[in-house]
Amino acid sequence: MKIIKRNGSEVVFDIEKILMAVTKANNAVEEGVRMTPLQIQRISQSVEIACQEMGRSPSVEEIQDLVEKAIMAHGAFEVAKEYITYRYTRSLLRQSNTTDDRILSLIECNNEEVKQENANKNPTINAVQRDYMAGEVSKDIARRILLPREVVQAHEAGIIHFHDSDYYAQHMHNCDLVNLDDMLQNGTVISGTLIEKPHSFSTACNIATQIIAQVASNQYGGQSISLTHLAPFVQVSREKIRRNVEKELQAFGVAPSEEDISRVVEERLRDEVRRGVQTIQYQVVTLMTTNGQAPFITVFMYLNEAKNEQEKKDLAMIIEETLRQRYEGVKNENGVWITPAFPKLIYVLEEDNVREGTPYWYLTRLAAECTAKRMVPDYISEKKMKEYKLSKGEEKGNGDVYTCMGCRSFLTPDRSGNGWDNVARAKNYEPGKPKYYGRFNQGVVTINLVDVALSSGREVDKFWEIFEERLELCHRALQCRHERLKGTLSDAAPILWQHGALARLEKGEPIDKLLYGGYSTISLGYAGLYECVKYMTGKSHTDPEAKPFALSVMQKMNDKCLEWKTAENIDYSLYGTPLESTTYKFAKCLQKRFGLIPGITDKSYITNSYHVHVTETIDAFTKLRFEAEFQQLSPGGAISYVEVPNMQNNIDAVLEVMQFIYDNIMYAELNTKSDYCQVCGFDGEIDIQEDDGKLVWVCPQCGNKDQSKMNVARRTCGYIGTQFWNQGRTQEIKDRVLHL
């Protein structure tokens, strides 16, 4: 059994240290109130058993809490007092410098918590270590100076989660919907260099990757671009290639038919599109931003976004090439094709591609094949999104279709209906048209719904009272995020605020006007709806008797967001948090506060957002239909999924799920597996097994347990992770049941 030290490093559990600590406290009190050696032995053994029952690596603090309780359970209150006093004294000494140990453990790569904090960051790399070190300093400053004490205490207790505090000291925001169209068509500036409108598709792709890298280095969340913004440059290249072909033919004195010329032009154009898409694919995978990872980028594929029929055909060509290259994958260091984490792909299901016989059905079938092998793309239903996302003046069924910013964070519809009169001064502004590209999210704070339920003791009136208090606490924390961005000058991130990614403000101009009126959003996250409902009702929220309570919880959070929005003119929006490491943190905090409660706190994770619990037996179609109602109540972002086996030989089943998504839910994905063992060449699903109280990844063919010698890709929170996960998330992955 392992334990986590205060600096994040992992060591083997040693009962002798407990014996020694309790003995020291025992010897410090008067002889008449001391415990016997046998009692001390029993205390130590009971603590060891309690740690084993956790099913994960306990922290030093958790072990010390168990020791305190065990001493008091024996009635040795004077010994307990001595032990508590010693802990307090040591705590004061540690507080004199809160970051040194953690930073040193980062440098030596023995901080297990940080290693597993982000499934797409390799903590052994210098750039990642540098980012984590800066993050530790930022967390410390935020904790001691910038944030209210009540917010810090609630965050540390796992009552709420103040996301990305490692970037809070800087004036940075969460995620973006990049206005790539404006930047390509009207020029931009990168690192002080003017970048004019590209004269070919391949150049446009190259510039796009540079923009992606720059944006990623100036915020800390996800970003999205649309392939539609690259589509006009296919025609630019077509015309350029035609001119070159005609010159070549003239030089050779050849006069072929128009049909032959067009055939040669289209062949060369296809080759350029292939090279341009490859530029995006490989540069995104190989680029490393200032935060030590590949850019968290989502690529949007929406045919009906094209301005005319020719552009739509050109866009289809780009989409086809994107899907083909993603299906192929990328080669690892051994030259084996594997699944990359990024770019994330989103494919929009539309009337002209969703059924066999429609013009672009071939793209949908290709998307299904890609999903079965590489886990992407994810799917947005044009039909359902047009029902839900209604800008000012729009009617249900005629709303807007746009991509999320990263993995699931969605902008609110344009409540101005006309792009806020171009408050951002974009050069591609279209009066009277709703605006999405160029907008962003200010940040996220998540409420732990499980803690609300457990704190109520199953008393309904008390639940709503505590819920109200916790929501207001989240509100104050979100206001901190908003206030931190106020006064930020455009000079802080020129690519974002001055050169078109989000705005074209003047140098030295504050960004404040972009923080109000709904231009940007700010997110109230939530986690653990399943466990919350299960504790309060005794049933899963999929049970018809418990579902009304679950919906009332969702509605309450929406009502609060509307209340705050009305009062402050800021678009608060409810967001289904993509818990990665936080799922483990919340679970540990719940166990510390409430102990092990069967079905509620007895696992090392809690459920993401409104999702059906991963162990619950339910078929794919029932799950998607059920979750669709909850997704609609999570307008700030959410994604549903179905867990499926290897579907590469059953593409028709994948297509059936995709068609069901189109008719029933706005945004969903299929979770498959894509692993490779570098030791024996096994190409299948790597197993998760328990080894000395810890979950480890094991090749089922050769028994390899070395994570550095295997490639594992899993979708964990709406996006693919490839650098392994903490024990809580690993247990959640292990517990998943198939829905198909």
Cα–Cα dist 605/602, whole Å: 9
Whether 132 is a known active-site residue: answer: no
Torsions phi, psi of 264, nearest 5?
-65, -45
Cα–Cα dist 625/327, whole Å: 28
3-state helix, strand, coil in the chain (%, to 5): 50, 15, 40
Helix (H) / strand (E) containing 588: helix 582-594
The two structure tokens encoding residue 246: 């005609």
Cα–Cα dist 479/572, whole Å: 10
Pick the catalytic residue: 51, 183, 370, 405? Answer: 405
Cα–Cα dist 53/603, whole Å: 10
**665 burial class (0-12, 13-18, 19+ CB within 10 angstroms)?**
buried
674-677: strand order across its sheet: 674-677, 710-715, 720-721
Whether 561 is a known active-site residue: answer: no
Whether 356 is a known active-site residue: answer: no
Whether 671 is a known active-site residue: answer: no
Instruction: State the residue for tokens 């207790």.
Output: 157
- DSSP letters, 62-117, are HHHHHHHHHHHHTT-HHHHHHHHHHHHHHHHHHHTSSSHHHHHHHHTT--HHHHTT
Whether 175 is a known active-site residue: answer: yes
**From the CB of residue 297, how many other CB atoms can be counted at a distance below 10 Å?**
23
Pick the catalytic residue: 437, 526, 572, 575? Answer: 575
Whether 509 is a known active-site residue: answer: no
Pick the catalytic residue: 8, 135, 518, 718? Answer: 718
| Residue whose C-alpha is closest to residue 298's, from 669, 592, 686 | 669
**421 burial class (0-12, 13-18, 19+ CB within 10 angstroms)?**
exposed
Cα–Cα dist 648/645, whole Å: 9
| Cα pseudo-dihedral 675, 677, 682, 686, rounded to 10 | -50
| R_g (Cα) of the chain, nearest Å | 27
Give the end-to-end CA distance of the chain in Å, rounded to a whole number.
36
| Residue whose C-alpha is closest to residue 225's, from 211, 214, 239, 238 | 211
CB 39 within 8 A of CB 74: yes
Q: Which DSSP symbol is given to 501? A: S
Which amino acid is present at 160? I
Longest CA span, the chain: 113
Whether 575 is a known active-site residue: answer: yes
Pick the catalytic residue: 54, 175, 205, 658? Answer: 175
Whether 397 is a known active-site residue: answer: no
Pick the catalytic residue: 57, 122, 291, 409? Answer: 409
Which amino acid is present at 361? W
Pick the catalytic residue: 62, 321, 369, 580? Answer: 580
Pick the catalytic residue: 26, 111, 122, 174? Answer: 174
The two structure tokens encoding residue 583: 């799922």
Cα–Cα dist 68/54, whole Å: 17
- What 3-state class would DSSP assign to 330? strand
Instruction: State the residue for tokens 């051994």.
Output: 334
The two structure tokens encoding residue 622: 């029932």
The two structure tokens encoding residue 215: 């944006």
Pick the catalytic residue: 133, 404, 407, 589? Answer: 407
CB 143 within 8 A of CB 152: yes
| Residue whose C-alpha is closest to residue 282's, from 347, 370, 343 | 343
Whether 448 is a known active-site residue: answer: no
Instruction: Tell me whether the omega of the peptide bond preceding residue 343 falls within 30 degrees of 0, making it cis.
Output: yes
Alpha-helix residue ranges (DSSP H) falling in 486-572: 494-497, 529-537, 547-568
| Residue whose C-alpha is closest to residue 452's, from 556, 523, 546 | 556
Catalytic residues: 174-175, 405, 407, 409, 441, 575, 580, 718
